[in-house]
């Protein structure tokens, strides 16, 4: 069975003023892959995710999701595409005026098709998935710890049962135990639902535990994209610097 | 597509097939729900082995259709069974989120208590300012000159164009309307008295106060509020920098200093507008107007106007900073407090203006 292409970036260029972030960047992610996106701090990983989400329009090049060009003028096409993806922002981006429960229920209510009991069960299910209890639902985002913000944001990203999940540093700020749970949770969801995941991470354990493929962003481009073992053989200053002596750990 | 979720009732059992996911179910949700409800009656045999995908939204739907018990016989893939198990593990009784009911007396009481707490808080902030001032008098090197001048510039200099525009238009309007009335009585010359007293003593200060409350007051609340939301205020404290000396005091002192100057400027422009309208409407020459102004409008009116500007500036900045410091770290509270700051500042200004009117009723009114 030939796998469908989920994300296709073609010749993407991004500039902020005189600062070039991406130059002629290509990437193609197939259905069911878990891609770890690596790159130095400030190399433009978050910007790349924002472009995949359509929050930032590249200066040149095309972004296609599920085969649809993000510049498609039809608002309904755009909305349906966005419902098929979930994003975990680097800093959570929870709605600060809504409680944890309402944050997760919000996208579900927006569908206007589900009844309250269904939504309630789904919200508690998602909370349980990320290791939070019913009591946490009442808290406001300002009352959460940094790691809890991450987990609530993940629960919200999962609320609509997305086919494509974008994660920006999902395990930064979690203790090792929670990171392990997180890795298991995403892995399980991926096997059950055939999710496609693109995650930015600097954590080798997360990468080793989860990623099927690795993309390396350096010199304004994706310099390498392939399975973990393929990446290990690459000879580039960033790769050698990043993995250092830990190279073997990934295999 | 063959992946559409579907359901057949075969003799003795219910067969589900296709992808039961939220996205696939949405277009035909009502149909599927009705089908499930009908299939549940008396059917305790379910065959889910032909499912291609099952997500938790669909699992919740199934579990509800089964009335929260496992069917007598269930054929299902291991992976999909895990998903349904996760739903089954949830506590059955889900307490609905509490809905706050508010009764009228409670509402009024809470409102009054909040107003009292705000008043107390503002008095406390005032006290803190006095303590800070004493501290700065003893340590003149800590006086935040840069912040102070920046605030005078932002709240004062940058407000010059808008206050001038509004003042000019108001001056023209009042002069024009009064001239129409005065002309019919043949009392043209009294336009100088009317414009002089009303603008210098009353309209100038109040007009500027309303504009500044909307312009600078809201900006102060929003700025301090966002600094609280983003924990910048806490970052300042950890560096050993007092938030009241560095953030609050320069704003309050800056606006208190800038307001009388703005009042002077706005009153002058409004008088000029009034003079122009009088010239066009009544043929009253500018020279006559200016020569008579000091005679019919005692200079104490100007002092009252400037005094009001001074007090209004202080009140607006104090209220704005108080509400800014009490923003809770969420967007809802930020917007509510900015609104409260502007409304409270304007109300207080009008109140203080009334008090001024009572206590200065003997001063500066010429007796002909
Ligand atoms: N809105 C913006 N305006 C101007 N420059 C920006 C903007 N957003 C990002 N940049 C610049 O783009 C570059 C890439 O930023 P980006 O946030 O994508 O980095 P990153 O790879 O996610 O880094 P990190 O790992 O630290 O999160 C940086 O040099 C940053 O200064
Ligand atoms: Mg980033």
Tell me: the pLDDT tens digits for A99-133? 899 999 998 888 887 888 888 888 988 888 888 88
Kindly write down the DSSP assignment for every residue of B320-343, as one continuous string.
HHHHHHT--SSHHHHHHHHHHHHH
Range with the poorest average pLDDT among A205-209, A212-216, B128-132? A205-209
Q: Determine the pLDDT at residue A248.
A: 61
A16 lines ligand 1 (CB under 6 A): yes
| Alpha-carbon span A66 to A78, nearest angstrom | 11
Q: Determine the pLDDT at residue B1.
A: 44
Q: Determine the pLDDT at residue B301.
A: 92
**CA B234 – ligand 2 centroid, Å:** 24
Confidence of residue B351 (pLDDT cuts 50, 70, 90): very high
| Pairing state between β A68-69 and A60-65 | antiparallel
Residues linked to residue A81 through DSSP beta bridges, in sequence order: none
How far is residue A37 CA from its own chain's centroid?
10
Which atom number of ligand 1 is nearest to the Cα of residue A39? 21
CB within 8 Å: B26 and A113:
yes
Contact B313, B259 (CB under 8 A): yes
| Alpha-carbon span A94 to A83, nearest angstrom | 17
CB within 8 Å: A96 and B330:
yes
pLDDT above 90 for B187: no
Task: State if pTM tops 0.90.
Answer: no
Question: How confident is the model over B356-362, as a mean pLDDT?
Answer: 90
Name which residue leads in pLDDT, B60 or A173.
Answer: B60
| Alpha-carbon span A118 to A136, nearest angstrom | 19
Q: Determine the pLDDT at residue B57.
A: 86
The percentage of residues in chain A with a pLDDT greater than 70, rounded to a whole number, is: 96
A156 lines ligand 1 (CB under 6 A): no
Q: Which residues contact B24 (CB under 8 A, 6 or more apart)?
A: B3, B4, B5, B18
Question: Helix or strand or coil: residue B180?
Answer: helix
Contact A101, A138 (CB under 8 A): yes
Range with the poorest average pLDDT among B42-51, B230-239, B340-349? B42-51
Alpha carbon of A19: minimum distance to chain B alpha carbons (Å): 27
Range with the poorest average pLDDT among B64-68, B192-196, B343-347? B64-68
Ligand nearest to the CA of residue A17, numbered in listed order: 1
| Alpha-carbon span A82 to A217, nearest angstrom | 25
**CA B125 – ligand 2 centroid, Å:** 40
Q: Which tokens sit at B8?
A: 């057949």
CB within 8 Å: A96 and B61:
no
Contact B314, B256 (CB under 8 A): yes
- DSSP tag of A3: P
Query: Chain A residue with minimal CA distance to B20?
Result: A193
Contact A167, A199 (CB under 8 A): yes
CB within 8 Å: B87 and A121:
yes
The percentage of residues in chain A with a pLDDT greater than 90, rounded to a whole number, is: 8
pLDDT above 70 for B117: yes
Q: Which residues of A touch chain B, with CB atoms under 8 Å apart? A: 83-84, 95-97, 101, 111, 113-114, 116-118, 120-122, 124-126, 128-129, 134, 137-138, 140-142, 160-161, 163, 188, 191-194
Q: What distances in angstroms separate CA A98 from CA A137, B102, B189, B261, one per listed residue?
A: 10, 20, 63, 44
Question: Helix or strand or coil: residue B136?
Answer: helix
A46 lines ligand 1 (CB under 6 A): yes
CB within 8 Å: A97 and B331:
yes
Which residue has the least CA distance to atom 25 on ligand 1?
A: A41
Q: What distances in angstroms separate CA B237 from CA A21, A82, B130, B220, B232, one per listed residue?
A: 36, 42, 20, 19, 9
Total residues belonging to chain A: 251
Query: Chain A residue with minimal CA distance to B82?
Result: A192
Residue with tokens 């912040």: B147
CB within 8 Å: B96 and A120:
yes
Question: Helix or strand or coil: residue B49?
Answer: strand
Query: Chain A residue with minimal CA distance to B19?
Result: A193
CB within 8 Å: B330 and A140:
yes
Ligand nearest to the CA of residue A16, numbered in listed order: 1
Query: Chain B residue with minimal CA distance to A140?
Result: B330
pLDDT above 80 for B288: yes
Kindly write down the DSSP assignment for every residue of B275-320, as one continuous string.
HHHHHHHH---HHHHHHHHHHHS-THHHHHHHHHHHHHHHHHHHHH
Q: Which tokens sit at B180?
A: 């129409």
pLDDT above 70 for B368: no
Alpha carbon of A218: minimum distance to chain B alpha carbons (Å): 31
Q: For helices A116-129 and B78-89, what crossing angle results, to 10°?
A: 110
Buried b (16+ CB within 10 A) or exposed e, A87-105: bbbbebebebbbbbbbbbb
Pocket test for ligand 1, best of A12, A14, A16 (most atoms within 8 A of CB): A16
Q: Which residues of B touch chain A, with CB atoms under 8 Å apart? A: 21-23, 26, 29, 53-57, 60-61, 63-64, 79-80, 82-83, 86-87, 89-91, 94-97, 229, 328-333
CB within 8 Å: A128 and B90:
yes
Contact A33, A212 (CB under 8 A): yes
CB within 8 Å: B89 and A128:
yes
Q: What angle do CA B4, B6, B8 make, to 5 degrees?
A: 155
Phi, psi of B90, rounded to the nearest 5 degrees: -65, 145
CB within 8 Å: B26 and A111:
yes
Pocket test for ligand 1, best of A36, A39, A40, A43 (most atoms within 8 A of CB): A43
Q: Where in chain B is the domain with CATH 3.30.750.24?
A: 6-89
Question: Helix or strand or coil: residue A13?
Answer: strand
Residues linked to residue A140 through DSSP beta bridges, in sequence order: none
pLDDT above 70 for B96: no
- For the stretch A54-87, pLDDT in tens is 888 888 888 888 888 887 777 888 777 887 888 8
Residue with tokens 């009732």: B9
Q: Determine the pLDDT at residue A134.
A: 84
A78 lines ligand 1 (CB under 6 A): no
Q: Determine the pLDDT at residue A229.
A: 80
**CA A107 – ligand 1 centroid, Å:** 28
Name which residue leads in pLDDT, A55 or B317.
Answer: B317
Which residue has the least CA distance to atom 6 on ligand 1?
A: A16
The percentage of residues in chain B with a pLDDT greater than 70, rounded to a whole number, is: 96
| Alpha-carbon span A50 to A53, nearest angstrom | 5
Question: How confident is the model over A206-231, as a mean pLDDT?
Answer: 86
Interface test with A, best of B36, B57, B88, B337 (most A CBs within 10 A): B57
Q: Determine the pLDDT at residue B83.
A: 83
- For the stretch A146-189, pLDDT in tens is 888 888 998 999 888 888 899 988 888 778 888 888 888 888 88
Confidence of residue B336 (pLDDT cuts 50, 70, 90): very high
Ligand nearest to the CA of residue A50, numbered in listed order: 1
| CATH fold group of domain B6-89 | Transcription Regulator spoIIAA (3.30.750)
Q: What distances in angstroms separate CA B33 from CA A60, B39, B62, B331, one per listed residue?
A: 46, 10, 9, 38
Name which residue leads in pLDDT, B362 or B336.
Answer: B336
Q: Which of B130, B115, B144, B122 is nearest to B317 (CA)?
A: B122
| Pairing state between β A34-39 and A213-218 | parallel
Q: Determine the pLDDT at residue A242.
A: 75
* Number of neighbouring beta carbons within 10 Å of residue B196: 24
Confidence of residue A218 (pLDDT cuts 50, 70, 90): confident
Q: Which of B227, B242, B206, B224 is nearest to B315 (CA)?
A: B206
| Alpha-carbon span A129 to A181, nearest angstrom | 9
pLDDT above 50 for A1: no
Q: Determine the pLDDT at residue B311.
A: 96
pLDDT above 70 for B201: yes
Range with the poorest average pLDDT among A21-35, A235-249, B74-88, B169-183? A235-249
Q: Which tokens sit at A139?
A: 């808290």
Query: Chain A residue with minimal CA distance to B88?
Result: A125
Pocket test for ligand 1, best of A42, A91, A200 (most atoms within 8 A of CB): A42
Question: How confident is the model over B18-22, as a mean pLDDT?
Answer: 84
- Look up the ipTM and state it: 0.77
Q: Determine the pLDDT at residue B337.
A: 94
């Amino acid at each position: 069975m030939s796998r469908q292409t989920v994300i296709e970036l073609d010749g993407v260029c991004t500039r902020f003023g005189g600062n070039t972030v991406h130059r002629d960047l290509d990437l193609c992610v197939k259905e069911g892959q878990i891609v770890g996106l690596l790159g130095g701090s400030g190399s433009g990983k978050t910007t790349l995710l924002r472009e995949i989400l359509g929050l930032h329009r590249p200066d040149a090049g095309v972004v296609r999701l599920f085969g649809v060009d993000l510049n498609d003028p039809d608002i309904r096409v755009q909305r349906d595409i966005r419902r098929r993806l979930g994003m975990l922002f680097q800093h959570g981006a929870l709605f600060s005026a809504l409680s944890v429960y309402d944050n997760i229920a919000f996208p579900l209510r927006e569908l206007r098709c589900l009844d309250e009991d269904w939504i309630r069960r789904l919200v508690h299910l998602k909370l349980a998935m990320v290791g939070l209890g019913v009591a946490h639902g009442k808290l406001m985002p300002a009352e959460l710890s940094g790691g809890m913000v991450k987990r609530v944001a993940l629960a919200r990203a999962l609320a609509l049962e997305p086919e494509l999940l974008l994660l920006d540093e999902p395990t930064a700020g979690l203790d090792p135990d929670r990171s392990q749970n997180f890795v298991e949770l995403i892995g399980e969801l991926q096997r059950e639902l055939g999710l496609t995941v693109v995650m930015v991470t600097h954590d080798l354990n997360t990468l080793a535990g989860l990623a099927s493929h690795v993309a390396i962003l350096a010199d304004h481009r994706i310099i390498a994209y392939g399975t973990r073992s393929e990446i290990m053989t690459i000879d580039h200053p960033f790769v050698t610097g990043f993995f250092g002596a830990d190279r073997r750990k990934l295999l | 597509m063959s992946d559409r979720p579907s359901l057949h009732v075969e003799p003795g059992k219910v067969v589900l097939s296709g992808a039961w996911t939220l996205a696939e179910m949405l277009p035909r949700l009502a149909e599927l729900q009705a089908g499930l409800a009908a299939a549940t009656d008396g059917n305790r045999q379910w065959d889910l082995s032909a499912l291609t995908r099952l997500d938790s939204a669909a699992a919740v739907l199934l579990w509800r259709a089964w009335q929260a018990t496992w069917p007598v016989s269930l054929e299902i893939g291991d992976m999909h069974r895990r998903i349904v198990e996760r739903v089954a593990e949830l506590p059955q009784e889900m307490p609905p989120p509490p809905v706050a009911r508010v009764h009228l007396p409670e509402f009024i009481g809470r409102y009054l208590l909040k107003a009292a707490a705000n008043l107390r808080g503002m008095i406390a902030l005032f006290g803190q300012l006095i303590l800070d001032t004493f501290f700065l008098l003893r340590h003149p090197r800590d006086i935040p000159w840069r912040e102070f001048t920046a605030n005078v510039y932002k709240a004062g200099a940058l407000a010059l164009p808008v206050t001038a525009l509004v003042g000019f238009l108001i001056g023209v309007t009042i002069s024009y309307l009064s001239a129409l009335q005065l002309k019919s009585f043949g009392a043209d010359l009294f336009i100088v008295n009317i414009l002089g007293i009303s603008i210098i003593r009353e309209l100038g200060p109040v007009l500027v106060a309303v504009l500044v409350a909307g312009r600078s007051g809201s900006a102060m609340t929003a700025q301090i509020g966002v600094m609280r939301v983003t924990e910048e205020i806490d970052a300042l404290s950890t560096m050993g920098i007092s938030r009241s000396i560095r953030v609050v005091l320069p704003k309050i002192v800056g606006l208190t200093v800038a307001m009388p100057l703005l009042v002077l400027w706005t009153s002058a422009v409004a008088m000029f507008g009034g003079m122009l309208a009088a010239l066009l409407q009544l043929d009253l020459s500018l020279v006559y107007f200016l020569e008579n102004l000091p005679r019919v409008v005692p200079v104490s009116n100007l002092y009252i106007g400037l005094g009001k500007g001074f007090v209004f500036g202080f009140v607006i900045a104090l209220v704005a900073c108080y509400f800014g410091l009490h923003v809770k770290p969420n967007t809802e509270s930020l917007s509510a407090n900015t609104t409260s700051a502007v409304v409270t500042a304007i109300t207080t200004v009008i109140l203080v203006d009334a008090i001024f009117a009572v206590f200065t009723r003997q001063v500066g009114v010429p007796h002909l």
